[in-house]
Structure 1
């Protein structure tokens, strides 16, 4: 995810903080501090309300991290693959690049997060009681408030709407009946409906229940709508590409640059061949990929001295029999415009983003033709 800073690694999972979290931090600190000051009494707090607000925000996002780790740990234990966890202004996102097999495990993985938040919330609220008896009334109030936030987080995520966890449970329940693509589209449709509802309530409020002009609810509505649309699009792409092999889409092109070629020579080749990237080979074997962006980062006066191997990005070994969906995921995670295709260590072609888009378009046309004019028939392939 772009705009995210890596801050730690837990169980091999990179933990990132998105810049949006840093933007909303002062507002949430002020809001929580104001709540504590009005609910408990500013004169009874030991310290400035804003300091308490910052502490509550930090603890809340640690709670969100625990919520996301619950998803990730379950996925890893059941054979899934987790790319990273990113903390955003409205919560967290676990990027699970390979789901556990079976709708049951997907549903349980989705439920692991809300269940963890609910348990954590109850424990915090129960733990606030002895704190009050020990004379730390302000700490007790803050801990109880944090517990309430965790309970709300758990219940909110159980709403049956993408991209919340309840939407994933809904998809898992519908998959056996509708298939993964249509189940995702249905859950995403419900998610967009909730997003519209959140947006309307955020703008106009509910008479006697919720004031109008709530910016947090409006932001949540935007993120829910975008998340639902993104999830639906990703699963459709997975359905279209998972049945295709790289050899069906790749361009059988073996043009490459040597590891000892200068960046100046690489630049000339990229321009002459109108390419966005070129494989780098050494002793006949691919050792990386050099992109136009990498070339531009080298100052022009130094391009004759810098070698291609110094600016080449490492690339995974992509064979002709690999899944086109796996290739797209690798490109997305590494932010590469193409990948070299190798067989027995030797370059046999390249696979570009354009090749994948063309493959999806052709696959969609084939399935629409198979469905006929009434749109009846199988519209997905199951990986």
Structure 2
């Protein structure tokens, strides 16, 4: 995710913080500081309200991290694959690149996060009682306040607004009946409905509950709507590419540049061959990919002295037997226009975005002839 920096790794999962989190942190510190001062009383609060507010804001996002870790750990235990966890302005996102097999495990994985938040919230509320009784009134109030936020977080995520956790449970329950694609489309439709509702409430408010023009709720509405549309599209692409291997789509092109070639030479090759990227080869093995963008980022006077190896981007090793969906996912995550295909250590071809688009279009045409406009039949529930 662009604009995110890695701050830690837990159980092999990179933990990243998006810049939007840093933007909202001062606002939350101010808001929670007001709550502390109002709950304890300004004259009895030991310490500045902003310090307490900042501590609560950080504690809330740590709670969100625990929520996301619950999803990720369950996914890993059931054979899933987790790319990273990113903390955002509106919460956290676990990027699960391979779901656990079976709708049951997907539902349980979705429920793991809200269940963890609810348990954490109850423990904090219960723990606040002895803290207050012992005279640590500020800590007691902070624990109770944070506990309430966690309970709200758990309950809010259970709303059936796909791609929120409750919506993922709905998708899992519908998969056995409708198949994964239509189940996702149905859950996404429900999620978009909730997004519109969130947006209306965010704009006009609800007497006694929400004030008019609540920007935070508008952000949630935008996230839910775009997330529902994006995941629905992703599942459809995954289904269309199901069973296709790289060898069926790749272009058997072995053109490459040497690791010691200058960027002037690389630029000439890219222009002559009308390519957006070329594999970089050293001692017969692919060591990376050099893109047109990487070349243009180097000032023209320096391109004669800069070697391809210096700007080459590391790439995963695709083989002809790699699943096409895995290749598309790698290409998307790394934001690359193509990837080299290697067999027995030797370059045997390239797979480009255009190759994948052609494969998707061919599957759509085949599916239209067999099953109607979506190109998915009874086999979809097995993907």
**Equivalent in the alignment of 2:94:** 94
**Equivalent in the alignment of 1:370:** 370
C-alpha distance in structure 2 between counterparts of 1:318 and 1:13, whole Å: 23
C-alpha distance in structure 1 between counterparts of 2:377 and 2:134, whole Å: 67
Instruction: Decide which moves more: 3-12 or 356-365.
Output: 356-365
C-alpha distance in structure 2 between counterparts of 1:100 and 1:158, whole Å: 20
C-alpha distance in structure 1 between counterparts of 2:213 and 2:317, whole Å: 52
Q: Following TM superposition, where does structure 1 have runs of at least 4 consecutive aligned residues deviating by more than 4 angstroms?
A: 372-379
C-alpha distance in structure 2 between counterparts of 1:334 and 1:198, whole Å: 33
**Equivalent in the alignment of 2:335:** 335
Output one character per residue of 1:78-104: Cα deviation in whole Å (capped at 9) or x when no partner.
Answer: 111110000011110000111111111
C-alpha distance in structure 2 between counterparts of 1:284 and 1:375, whole Å: 42
C-alpha distance in structure 1 between counterparts of 2:120 and 2:207, whole Å: 33
Q: Is contact 2:198–2:217 with CA below 8 Å preserved after alignment?
A: yes
C-alpha distance in structure 2 between counterparts of 1:334 and 1:376, whole Å: 29
Q: Is contact 2:128–2:141 with CA below 8 Å preserved after alignment?
A: yes
Q: Is contact 2:179–2:378 with CA below 8 Å preserved after alignment?
A: no
SS at match of 2:359: helix
**Equivalent in the alignment of 1:189:** 189
Two-structure CA RMSD over aligned residues (Å): 1.7
Q: Is contact 1:367–1:379 with CA below 8 Å preserved after alignment?
A: no
Q: TM-score, normalised by structure 1?
A: 0.96
**Equivalent in the alignment of 2:11:** 11
Output one character per residue of 1:1-27: Cα deviation in whole Å (capped at 9) or x when no partner.
Answer: 111111111111110011111111122
Q: CA deviation at 1:380?
A: 3.6
| Change in 2 beyond 3 A, CA 1:163/1:272 | same
Output one character per residue of 1:271-303: Cα deviation in whole Å (capped at 9) or x when no partner.
Answer: 222211001122332221111122223333332
**Equivalent in the alignment of 1:223:** 223
Q: CA deviation at 1:374?
A: 11
Instruction: Decide which moves more: 359-368 or 63-72.
Output: 359-368
Q: CA deviation at 1:178?
A: 0.6
1:70 and 2:70 matched: yes
C-alpha distance in structure 1 between counterparts of 2:173 and 2:257, whole Å: 51
**Equivalent in the alignment of 2:151:** 151
Q: Is contact 1:118–1:155 with CA below 8 Å preserved after alignment?
A: yes
Unpaired runs of 5+ residues, structure 2, are: none
SS at match of 1:79: coil
Q: TM-score, normalised by structure 2?
A: 0.96
**Equivalent in the alignment of 1:174:** 174
Q: CA deviation at 1:375?
A: 8.5
1:258 and 2:247 matched: no
| Change in 2 beyond 3 A, CA 1:347/1:187 | same
Instruction: Decide which moves more: 252-261 or 138-147.
Output: 252-261
SS at match of 2:340: strand
C-alpha distance in structure 2 between counterparts of 1:39 and 1:278, whole Å: 62
C-alpha distance in structure 2 between counterparts of 1:288 and 1:114, whole Å: 41
C-alpha distance in structure 2 between counterparts of 1:239 and 1:123, whole Å: 42
Q: Is contact 1:371–1:379 with CA below 8 Å preserved after alignment?
A: no
**Equivalent in the alignment of 2:272:** 272
SS at match of 1:43: coil
